[in-house]
Amino acid sequence: MRPNWTPLDTELDRWSAAGLSLPLWWRDDDAIAMTPALDRLQDLARRLEIPLHLAVIPAEADTSLAESIDPFMIPVVHGWSHTNHAPNGEKKAEFGAHRPIEEMHAETAQGMNCLRTLFGDAFVPMFVPPWNRVAAGLLPTLPVQGFGMLSTFTPRSNAFAAPGLTQINTHLDPINWRVGKTLHHPDILIRQIATQLSDRRKNRADREEPYGILTHHLVHDTAIWNFTEALLSRLLQGPTHIWTAHSCLDRPRPKETTHEPT
């Protein structure tokens, strides 16, 4: 069955008519090493000319990642070891409120140091907590370590998660984690993004927050690959401009690509 893109196309037309442009970014989680799946993802980023923010698990990171880095891969910190410390019966979390702040603080520092050593100047100090969950008490400690950004999931309620820590979330995950890690019904995903963009256009949500697509290359099947490419391609043909984490840094960054409506 072919996806019905009409709701998204209609909303993008409304953005164009209103003279609006959507800041768009892409985050992919759970990278450890270069694999055929990650190679395919990197190729997609190059073809679409949209940089990929690669959330790397520091404790498991392999040198093959550093050897394959290019301007279309932006490494960021994905927790420490992606270990679930939540008690039985609670939602999974590595940096949840049930752990001592000092213990978690030590691991976030380890994660930053590990990836800075591995990637050098390509590394960007964004913290992505596994399972998109993080204790509120940890947040003020992150800027002290040099983190300037926090990324979780769902529209942000504030532009800053803590003083000096910009919140840049992701908003659409095409994977149905509860049903075999398969693709959600495409029409449901399309209606979801159309609704989210409508909320922004009508100022019911933060229009300035970069709109994030979240993927997990290691579990993609053919349907997820195809939908991800189709969605990104369609968005890039609309009134969008690419956002990267470099825009939050006080250093030169790669040239951003602007995609005009077609």
Is residue 262 over pLDDT 90?
no
Provide the CATH number for the domain around residue 149.
3.20.20.370
Instruction: Give the CA count within 13 Å in the CB-facing half-sphere of 139.
Output: 17
The verdict on residue 256 lying in a domain is no
The verdict on residue 20 lying in a domain is yes
The token pair at 209 is: 């927050």
The verdict on residue 90 lying in a domain is yes
Supply the DSSP string of the chain, one letter for each residue.
-----HHHHHHHHHHHHTT--EEEEEEEEEE-S--HHHHHHHHHHHHHT--EEEEE-GGG--HHHHHT--TTEEEEE--SS----PPTTSPP-SB-TTS-HHHHHHHHHHHHHHHHHHHGGG---EE--GGG-B-GGGGGGHHHHT--EE--BS--SSSEEETTEEE--B-B--EETTTTTEEPPHHHHHHHHHHHHHHHHTTSS-TTSPEEEEE-GGG--HHHHHHHHHHHHHHHTSSEEE--GGGGSSS--PPPPEE---
How does pLDDT run across 184-204, given as a tens digit for each residue?
A: 999 999 999 999 999 999 999
For residues 81 and 57, the answer to whether their CB atoms sit within 8 Å is yes
How does pLDDT run across 98-124, given as a tens digit for each residue?
A: 999 999 999 999 999 999 999 999 999
Identify the weakest region by mean pLDDT among 54-68, 83-97, 247-261: 247-261
> Above pLDDT 70, what percent of the chain?
95
The verdict on residue 259 lying in a domain is no
Mean pLDDT of the chain: 93
Segments forming the whole domain that contains residue 207: 6-250
What's the total number of domains in the chain? 1
- Residue 255: per-residue pLDDT: 39
The verdict on residue 1 lying in a domain is no
- Residue 250: per-residue pLDDT: 55
The verdict on residue 260 lying in a domain is no
- Residue 259: per-residue pLDDT: 38
Is residue 253 over pLDDT 60?
no
The verdict on residue 237 lying in a domain is yes
Nearest to 157 by CA among 146, 169, 172: 169
- Residue 1: per-residue pLDDT: 66
The verdict on residue 161 lying in a domain is yes
